[in-house]
């Protein structure tokens, strides 16, 4: 199966799972805290760790599973899982400073970029 098709198929399932997780947490806990976002980020990080460990064990031939589950399903469920995998790779290489910089650049940078986008859009009459 072509790589793009695997990613698209997985992404559809991941996006649907994200939507359902959000609906479920909203029903359980209410709208006062972003429980759905927190849930998908934590679950996605855990599942990305499980996938990375499994793919490391099977070695060759795991690329279709990485595309389907890692890029597709987990990418549609949460991009935070890819961020945490990148971070763990830096930490395991001993690049603690680079990892810390990546955390600040990603989290603070994303917040600043969102603020900039909102500000720009609000400035347009």
- Give me the half-sphere count of Cα atoms (radius 13 Å) on the Cβ side of residue 38: 8
- CB-based contact 75:7 (threshold 8 Å): yes
- Is 75 annotated in a binding site? The answer is yes
- Is 30 annotated in a binding site? The answer is no
How far apart are the C-alpha atoms of 88 and 102, rounded to whole Å? 11
Cα–chain center distance at 93? 21
How far apart are the C-alpha atoms of 36 and 24, rounded to whole Å? 8
Annotated binding residues for Na(+), as ranges? 75, 78
């Amino acid at each position: 199966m072509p790589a793009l098709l695997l990613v698209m198929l997985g992404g559809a399932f991941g996006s649907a799972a994200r939507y359902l997780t959000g609906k479920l947490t909203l029903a359980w806990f209410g709208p006062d805290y972003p429980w759905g976002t927190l849930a998908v980020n934590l679950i996605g990080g855990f599942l990305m760790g499980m996938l990375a460990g499994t793919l490391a064990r099977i070695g060759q031939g795991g690329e279709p599973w990485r595309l389907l589950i890692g890029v597709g399903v987990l990418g549609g469920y949460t991009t935070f899982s890819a961020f945490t995998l990148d971070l763990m790779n830096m930490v395991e290489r001993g690049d603690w400073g680079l990892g810390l910089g990546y955390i600040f650049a990603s989290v603070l940078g994303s917040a600043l970029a969102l603020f900039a986008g909102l500000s720009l859009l609000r400035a347009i009459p």
